[in-house]
Amino acid sequence: MIISELKPLFPEEYTDGGPLVIAGPCSAESETQVLDAAHALMNEGIRIFRAGVWKPRTKPGGFEGMGTPALEWLAEAKRQTGMLISTEVASARHLADAIDAGIDAVWIGARTSANPFAVQEIADFLVQLPAHRRDMLAVMVKNPVNTDLELWIGAIERIYGAGVRRIGAIHRGFSSYGEHVYRNMPEWRIPIELHRRLPEITMICDPSHIGGRRDLIAPLALQALRMNFDGLIIECHCNPESALSDSGQQITPSALGNIIKSIANRPETLSQEILADLRRQIDDIDDRLMDILAQRMAVAREIGRLKQENNMPVVQPKRYNSLINDRVETAAKLGLDAEFTKKILAGIHEESVRQQLNL
C-alpha cells in the first residue's frame, strides 16, 4: 500500500516550530491528578496532553485504569488549558467513548498493534465515522512489542486504509527476555527503516517506555531528535513516586521543562549524556555477549559429555574447519573483518576444548 498525502499530525500552532512534545501521566488516576498535571505541563509550554484511561497490564491484579469516566477529566483539562488531549485505545468501544468525550488524538498501544484483529476492529470503526470527525482525529501507532517491522507497517496501513490522514508512528522500544539497561530495547534501525519506507509518517519517540527509568529520558530524547524524529511522547506526573503505574519512569513537569530547555540550549552537556548513553548500550551489549558465551559453553560441555560416553575424540578437525568457514562467511555479511572473526572463534573454540577435557 502506498501511504501518501498525509496531513500534519497536529495543527502547526501545537508544535510551535520546535519538536512536537506530547506529555502527561502514564494513567489518569483522579480528576485532581489529571488537572494538576495538565496545568503544570501547560506552564512548561506543552500543548498536547496524554493520559492512559485503559491500561493493558501484563498480569491481572495491576492497576487497569479508571476507564471511560476518566475521559471526562481529560475533557476538563482541555477546557481549562486549551491543550489537545490524547489517550490509548485498544478496541472500537474505547475509540467510540474517546470520540464522544472529544478526544483529539489516540494511540494504539504496543500490545494492540501486535494484534491485527484488534487493529482491524479499530480501523472498521474509523471508516464509518463521519468524514469531518475522522479528518480531525490524529492516530498514532506504537511499534508492536516484538521486533516485527512488517507488523508495525501493517497496523499503519490498516489505519490509513480506513481513511485516516493524520498518522504518527511511536517508537517505544521492543521487549526482550531478561534484565537489561533499557526496559524495552531501542533497536533504532527498526524505526529508521520504517521512516525510510513511509517517509510521510510523523515519527515520535517514547523515551519513557524505552528507558523505563527517569535518568534515561533525557539522553534518549536527545538521541531521538538527533536521529531526526519529529517529536516525543513523555510520561509526566506531579508526584511520580506515588503514580499508580510506571512510577519509576515518570518525571515531573518541571523536569520535562528542563529537558526541553537543555535540548534547545546546551547541546554540549547533552553530548556528554549521549556519550554516557552510548556507553550504557555498550555495557548492555557486553552483558548479552557474556550471556551468549556462557550459553555456548554450557552446550559445549553437554557435547563433551556425549563424546565421553561414546568414546569420541574431543577435537574433530573436520567439524572445526567447516564451522570456522561458515561463521567467517556469516560475519563477513555483517561487515565483520575475517581475521578478527577467526581470532575470536579460535579463542572460543580453545575454551570449549578446555572445558570438554576438564569434565
**Chain residues that interact with Mn ion, rule: CB under 5 A:** 26, 246
**Distance in Å, CB of 88 to ligand PEP, minimum:** 6
Distance CA 252, CA 243 (A): 11
Residue 104 interacts with, from Mn ion, ligand PEP, none (CB under 5-8 Å by kind)? none
DSSP calls for 30-87: -HHHHHHHHHHHHHTT--EEE-BSS---SSTTS-----THHHHHHHHHHHHH--EEEE
Distance CA 98, CA 337 (A): 54
Closest residue to ligand PEP, judged by C-beta, is 109
**Distance in Å, CB of 154 to ligand PEP, minimum:** 17
- Measure the CA angle with vertex 24, ends 20 and 25; round to 5°: 150
Binding site for ligand PEP (CB under 6 A): 26, 52, 88, 109-110, 142, 172, 209
Residue number, 91 or 355, with CB nearest to ligand PEP: 91
**Distance in Å, CB of 149 to ligand PEP, minimum:** 16
Amino acid sitting at position 222: L
And the C-alpha cell for 217? Answer: 529520558
Residue number, 195 or 209, with CB nearest to ligand PEP: 209
Residues with Cβ within 8 Å of residue 221, at least 6 apart in sequence: 205, 207, 232, 234, 259, 263
Residue 172 interacts with, from ligand PEP, Mn ion, none (CB under 5-8 Å by kind)? ligand PEP
Please report which helix (H) or strand (E) contains residue 18, including its range.
Answer: none
SS3 111: helix
Residue number, 88 or 277, with CB nearest to ligand PEP: 88
Residue number, 26 or 77, with CB nearest to ligand PEP: 26
**Distance in Å, CB of 355 to ligand PEP, minimum:** 41
Residue number, 154 or 163, with CB nearest to ligand PEP: 154
**Distance in Å, CB of 210 to ligand PEP, minimum:** 9
Residue number, 82 or 248, with CB nearest to Mn ion: 248
Closest residue to Mn ion, judged by C-beta, is 26
**Distance in Å, CB of 207 to Mn ion, minimum:** 12
| Alpha helices by DSSP H, the chain | 31-43, 69-81, 92-100, 110-113, 116-127, 131-136, 149-161, 189-197, 207-211, 214-226, 253-265, 267-309, 317-333, 338-357
Residue 109 interacts with, from ligand PEP, Mn ion, none (CB under 5-8 Å by kind)? ligand PEP
Strand-pair partners of 233? 22
